Amino acid sequence: MKNNLLGFLGICKKAGKLKHGFDAVKEAVQKGGVPLVLVTKDISPKTKKEILFESAKTNTEVVSVPATMVEIEQKTGKRAGVLAVLDEGFAKAVKESAALADEEEDSI
């Protein structure tokens, strides 16, 4: 299921509906209209705390994904621990896929 999640992120990137990196995501969240922020499982606690704080200001949902920055880089071409999905439809698909991948990882 992690492959589905990474596949959706690749599609989001190709469609131009994905922001990479803390600064770019923070700026997008502050402007509003970001339906979903993703954080990888190997992100630093400080960065995660900061993006949660910024996202809370605009009621932006944040989901932890069971993927590493290296796995994200392999699929999207950019190493990042914080990502923003900029489309509602993609956000829903990514969120569902992340939940399934997380369940699968927990059962292993």
Number of domains in the chain: 1
pLDDT digits (tens, 9 = 90+) for 93-108: 999 998 888 776 665 5
Does pLDDT of 84 surpass 70? yes
Domain containing 50 equals: 2-107
Q: What is the mean pLDDT of the chain?
A: 92
User: How far, in Å, CA of 12 to CA of 42, rounded?
Assistant: 21
Does pLDDT of 3 surpass 90? no
| Domain CATH for 42 | 3.30.1330.30
- pLDDT at residue 101, rounded to an integer: 80
DSSP assignment letter at 15? T
Torsion of CA 46, 48, 54, 67, to 10 degrees: 150
Does pLDDT of 54 surpass 90? yes
On the CB side of 105, how many CA atoms lie within 13 Å of its CA? Answer: 16
